[in-house]
Amino acid sequence: MAHDITADILIIGTGVAGAMAGAKLAARGLSVAFLESGKRIDRYDAVEKFWNAKIKVPESPYPNDPEASHPLSHRIEDFYQQSGPELFKSTYIKVVGGTTWHWLGTTLRNLPSDFRLKSLYGHGVDWPLSYDDLEPFYLEAENEIGVAGDSTEDLGSPRSGEFPMPQIAMTYLDKHFASALDGTRYQVRATPQGRNSLFHADRPECCGNNSCIPICPIQAKYDATVHIALAEQAGATIHDQTTATKLNVGENGEIGSVEFRRADGTTGTASGKVVIVAAHAIETPRLLLNSAQENAPNGVANSSDQVGRNLMDHPTRLSWAEASEPVWPYRGPLSTSGIENLRDGDFRKQRGAFRIEIGNDGHSWPTGAPATTAADLAAQGLRGGELDAAIKDVTSRQIRLASLVEQSPDAENRVTLDPDKRDANGIPLPRIRYDFDAYTRNGLEAAEKAHEEVFAALGARNVRHSPEAQGAGHIIGTTRMGSDSASAVVDADLRSFDHRNLFLLGSGTFPTSATANPTLTIAALSLRAVDAIAASVK
């Protein structure tokens, strides 16, 4: 079979997992080729598209071409074929650089206990590696991303070195929360973030644009195009608008080739001594399951029947209120502080833990403010100077909290292939079955009570809670790692148990969700896998 694309290492996906590993492998002199469904993005054009979008959601600055289609937050059942009982609400995009284009930038580490949930609390499963195994790679990931943080606060995750940059300053709103909560069990701390607090790595410092989700206009916030550029400088090639459609297993059980389809309809095959799938936790199982064949009848890498299973998010309790005095939201990144000291304890035997994110974005997430604020006040009959004064007053007091709740791994929460609907590349759309167990629901209830207490300490009024859990944008599970090939898809090096030259990178490999936003752990695990990947080529 003639191969259109050949390399030592073939990487499917250009998000943070693939880009970071690819840059490191190319720097070692290995030939690296990327396949990416989406296009390269021009930041200026994307910002313009966002400004002009009538519906402003995380996906609005980016293309959603038929050949690189993805879910949309405001039309979640168009792409995901959902069978309930709960809707899975978290999304991703297909562009060069992946979903880091619209991530918030939060770069928390997991806690040491997060790797031992079963051993410590009798719930979920343990990871096949420890916090100490991953700690040096957490530090390396923070340096690669360029994390701004307070090195004197480890937030429960012991550190062997300092952050590369000082913290992003806490906002006036953050300090108001910290002052009101001083002496309570709620400790407000600066959030480590993948955005520059100083000019760093040829990128400017954050200037406080309040649009981190969906786009940083100046690239103060890290995105994976940083590592794509480093990979290209080291000789890697990027094949954009090129969708992997099937992995072919050779007689020796290794991945022999990858079939692809370009946006113009042409097709071809690619091969690598090592194949890495780093296509996020919906697209990775979708590709593996679509690759079912004679010597992989259940799908590639799926002898355990775990591919697609244990889909998780951080179901989010969203609450909002009005402070008793002006706190001046809508300044700085969307969130600069949080409450991180509630993420562990014996309560994890009964319910999920959570972290509380303090928002700088007023009521924009829950209500669509400030535009809706103006409309509501105008509907009350206010006009002219009176309306102007009311908008300023109400907007200045808008506060919101979002608690990201630990979700249990559940084999029945899963991604499968839809039997009827296919995309423009002929791949079945993902079918999702999703629910929350009692452990997760108990965590959501505890989060709402915590929000009530926090708002009470602030003397806030008009407290409201979203009746439904929100998606955090964190797609976790579906290709879990473990120490046993019967119950996991990959080992601690992220190597497939079934195919020795196949590695699966990304949050799909997490055995449990923990409570930290996943990007830093994705990056650390990818960096840790580099040695095993490079050794496999040789």
- Whole-angstrom distance, CA of residue 16 vs CA of residue 293: 30
Rounded to whole angstroms, what are the CA distances from 150 to 153, 190, 201?
6, 7, 19
Q: Alpha-carbon torsion 55, 58, 61, 65, what sign?
A: negative
What angle separates helix 519-537 from helix 16-27, to the nearest 10 degrees? Answer: 40
**143 burial type by CB count under 10 A (0-12 exposed, 13-18 middle, 19+ buried):** middle
Q: Which residue has the tokens 């000019």?
A: 199
- Whole-angstrom distance, CA of residue 324 vs CA of residue 336: 21
**1 burial type by CB count under 10 A (0-12 exposed, 13-18 middle, 19+ buried):** exposed
Q: Judge contact between 210 and 13, C-beta under 8 A.
A: no
Q: Judge contact between 7 and 258, C-beta under 8 A.
A: no
CA atoms within 13 A on the CB side of 450: 30
The amino acid sitting at 443 is: G
Q: Alpha-carbon torsion 2, 69, 238, 49, what sign?
A: positive
Helix extents (H) in 8-159: 16-27, 43-52, 76-79, 117-121, 131-145
- Count other C-beta atoms under 10 Å from residue 322's C-beta: 20
Q: Judge contact between 205 and 220, C-beta under 8 A.
A: yes
**475 burial type by CB count under 10 A (0-12 exposed, 13-18 middle, 19+ buried):** buried
By C-alpha distance, which of 334, 323, 333 is closest to 179?
Answer: 323
- Whole-angstrom distance, CA of residue 72 vs CA of residue 101: 15
- The catalytic position among 239, 363, 451, 474 is 474
- Whole-angstrom distance, CA of residue 301 vs CA of residue 288: 7
Rounded to whole angstroms, what are the CA distances from 98 to 68, 225, 279, 451?
12, 8, 9, 33
Q: Rounded to 5, what percent of the chain is helix, strand, coil?
A: 30, 20, 50
DSSP 405-472: E-----TTSEEEEEEEEE-TTSPEEEEEEE---HHHHHHHHHHHHHHHHHHHHHT-EEEEE-SSPBP-
DSSP 346-394: GGGGTS--EEEEEPSSTTHHHH-TTHHHHHHHHHTT--HHHHHHHHHHH
> Is position 74 annotated as part of the catalytic site?
no
The residues annotated with a catalytic role in the active site are: 474
